[in-house]
Amino acid sequence: MLNIILFGKPGSGKGTQASLIKDKYSLLHISTGDVFRKNMSNNTDLGLLAKGYMEKGELVPDKVTVDMLKDEINNFMPCNGFIFDGFPRTTFQAKELDNLLLEKSLKIDLTIALDVDNNSLIDRLLERGKSSGRADDQSVEKINMRLQEYDNKTKPLVEYYNDQNKFYSINGIGSLEQITSRIVEVIEDYNND
């Protein structure tokens, strides 16, 4: 079983790459954004809570996020493994994920970060906002707030996974194929160890 976290700032391409990697390794893709949208469209209590934060360009609180993700993981067991996209975003979430996986005799194997500079991310998100209809992708101010919040809350995860020798950073700029190839190289090196 292989469990991977795709890590990176909003707009870094996590969702796109997770979709490509999941098929190659027969993994289940759990996207925090998709889980949020599903809960919001179904008007669940957790979904309505999440919506309020997202519309302000803020990250959804840990407890709400963890509760939604626990349900998703439990719904997909057993499986060949997971590729997490957008989760965990804080050290608290990472520890909760470790505990949940441990209950199932599983662990995170790799955390792969897509490294993209903020100017490129702003351009990507504004472009995505033209077709996605997402309010948080249509304002430079909201995008900058998300990037700042990411830096404040998510950067400690680099240290958390680095201390476990599970953190790998790759260049997140290039063609889809180039970036996928970089991710596959990290996974294959891990599998061959």
Residues known to be catalytic: 14, 89, 128, 134, 146
Q: How far apart are the two ends of the chain, measured CA to CA in Å?
A: 15
Q: Is the preceding peptide bond at 88 cis, omega within 30 degrees of 0?
A: yes
State how far the Cα of 2 lies from the Cα of 99, in Å rounded to an integer.
16
Q: What sign does the dihedral 84-89-90-96 (CA atoms) show? A: negative
Which burial class, exposed, middle or buried, applies to 3 when counting CB atoms under 10 A from its CB (0-12, 13-18, 19+)? buried
